[in-house]
Copies of this chain bind each other. A is one copy, B any other.
Amino acid sequence: MSNSESSRVAAEKPRGFADRLGKAASAEERVVEAVGRVYEQWGFDRLETPALEFTEALGKFLPDLDRPNEGVFSFKDDERWLSLRYDLTAPLARFAAEQWQTLPKPFRRWAGGPVWRNEKPGPGRFREFWQCDADTVGSASPAADAEIVALACAAVEAAGVARGNYVVKVSSRKLLDGLLELVGVPQSAQSQRLVVLRALDKLDRLGAECVRALLGPGRKDESGDFTQGAKLEAAQIEPILKFATASAETPTPDRILGLWNEVSPDFKVAPDSIADAGVKELAQIFGLLQTMGYLDGRVQLDTSVVRGLEYYTGPVFEAQLIGGGGANFGSVGGGGRYDDLVARFTGERVPATGFSIGVSRLAAVKERLGWGEVVAANAPVVVLALDGDRIGDYFGIAQELRDVGIRAEVYLGGAGMKAQLKYADKRDAPIVVIQGGDELAKGTVTLKDLKLGAQLAKDLGEDREAYAKSREQAQREVPRGEVVAAVQQMLAR
């Protein structure tokens, strides 16, 4: 291995990926653990699938098309294309199709872990992030959707969001599909419908004016990139926008049809139309949620919710965090019904519905808002290594501390006392354990309380005499056999 200047490798990672150390690490795992416990409690079984799948098994349903391989990390292996999973739903569909004969039906499963998107990286926009999903496969009943919505509430609360700080918004693709039918964008105009869908999904972020442009000729963003629009005419655009921007509310089931009529008075719902089916399903879902007591602000109807993923076929859900005064901190999860995903494999329609918590996004928002639990700073006690020939003894002291549950480590560098104390400071150590030649001769050790020492130094300022005295206060010499008890006592005070 050559270390010459010319052959040096850059110490860098790809953009859109992050390192996390210490307390910042495993934030996602803690959320998955807490949410997973709730999913389990509701009868969902955990499923783990591989990070890599055949590209064709995952399908292409992502809203972002600004990358060459359509938002997915893909590569060729033995003449077949493999991709990193971009969500946990597509692998579930593959699994359910593969194992359908042996599964209990309907099949409830949950999953949690990282997913990867090959999107344009940007501030706060990562290409590796965690999700935690619950899905019911094999039930077409609106009861399955209602259960998923109720479970979404329980899951968001388990992730540490207080009731009142979130709302799960519900709508249905069928309402939008029905309206598109009525304004003259038939189901056969599939790619045009997709552009409409993705435009509406940006309503929250871009506002009505930009979305109007995206429904029409298109729009140039700040970076100068032009996004093609859906090329609809004003007479088509306005009812769609009016429908999508109808204000959120918590309707009783019998109010749902009325709401649709209010926001689209010129486009009546025909009996047995797709919009009619959507209205009836929503009414059933809200009926059940009312029975279960979830219409107390936790769940609302919101016609602006469409979700960007192509595979949804009916009800769609989105969990948003809200602050005091109703400030909206954005989406932290979503889901919906996707009745055609398993049929890609089997040819037979298998109804399915589910919800996904954006674990990384939720963790980031919680941290930004200061909602996160303060993780106890569990910094280690540092045993100094003043005599290189006595490392074994220092290891022994550290092990005694660990044996009673105290995190402890021995300094392993070759530096002197001052540098070792600096290391302990950097480790945020509460206490250092010192046994130099003097202590060894007396059979003692010195314990230094770095927290108390720093506090006293700060309180006393320039008073040298008091400072000298404070050093005594923050420092104790105890017999070697009493180290553990003394450290326990100092940590407790």
Q: Which residues of A contact B (CB under 8 A)?
A: 1, 3-5, 8-14, 17-22, 25-26, 29, 40-54, 56-57, 59, 73-77, 80, 82, 84, 94-95, 97-99, 104-106, 108-109, 114, 116, 118, 127-128, 136, 138-139, 141, 143-144, 146-147, 150, 287-288, 291-292, 311, 340, 343-347, 349, 378, 380, 382, 385, 388, 391-393, 395-396, 398-399, 402, 405, 407-414, 423, 426-427
Across-interface contacts of A51 in B (CB, < 8 A): 51, 84, 114, 116, 128
Q: Are B409 and A42 in contact (CB under 8 A)?
A: yes
Report if A52-B136 is in contact (Cβ < 8 Å); known contacts: A46-B26, A343-B3, A344-B1. Answer: no
Q: 19 more A-B contacts (CB under 8 A) besides A13-B57, A141-B391? A: A4-B347, A8-B347, A11-B97, A11-B98, A13-B53, A14-B50, A19-B49, A19-B98, A20-B48, A22-B45, A22-B47, A40-B407, A41-B405, A51-B51, A52-B116, A104-B423, A104-B426, A104-B427, A144-B412
Complex: chain B residue closest to A97, CB-CB: B11
User: What are 14 A-B pairs at a CB distance below 8 A?
Assistant: A1-B340, A11-B345, A12-B57, A13-B49, A13-B50, A14-B53, A21-B47, A21-B48, A22-B46, A42-B407, A106-B411, A108-B409, A143-B385, A147-B412
Determine how close the nearest CB of chain B comes to the CB of A377; give it in whole angstroms: 12
Majority secondary structure of chain A interface residues (helix, strand, loop or mixed): mixed
- In the complex, chain B residues whose CB is within 8 Å of the CB of A4: 347
Tell whether, in the assembled complex, residue B17 and residue A50 are in contact, meaning their CB atoms are under 8 Å apart: yes
- What is the minimal beta-carbon distance from A367 to any residue of chain B, in angstroms? 15
Chain B neighbourhood of A410, CB < 8 A: 143, 147
Contacts of A8 in B (CB 8 A): 344-347
A17 and chain B: residue at smallest CB distance = B50
Interface contact B25-A46, CB-CB below 8 Å: yes
**Are B21's CB and A395's CB within 8 A?**
no
A57 touches B292 (CB 8 A): no
Which B residues are in CB contact (< 8 Å) with A41? 402, 405, 407-408
Of A22, A48, A385, A411, most buried by chain B (CB within 10 Å of CB) is A48
C-alpha spacing A285/B51, complex, angstroms = 40
A75 to chain B, nearest CB (A): 3
Instruction: Quote the shortest CB–CB distance from A430 to chain B (angstroms).
Output: 13
Is the CB–CB distance between A19 and B392 below 8 Å?
Answer: no
A397 → B minimal CB distance (Å)? 11
Q: In chain B, what residue has the closest Cβ to A291?
A: B392
Chain A to chain B: the 9 pairs with minimum beta-carbon distance, closest first: A43-B409, A75-B75, A291-B392, A11-B97, A17-B50, A11-B345, A25-B46, A104-B426, A11-B98
A9 touches B344 (CB 8 A): yes
| A5 CA / B95 CA spacing, docked (Å) | 19
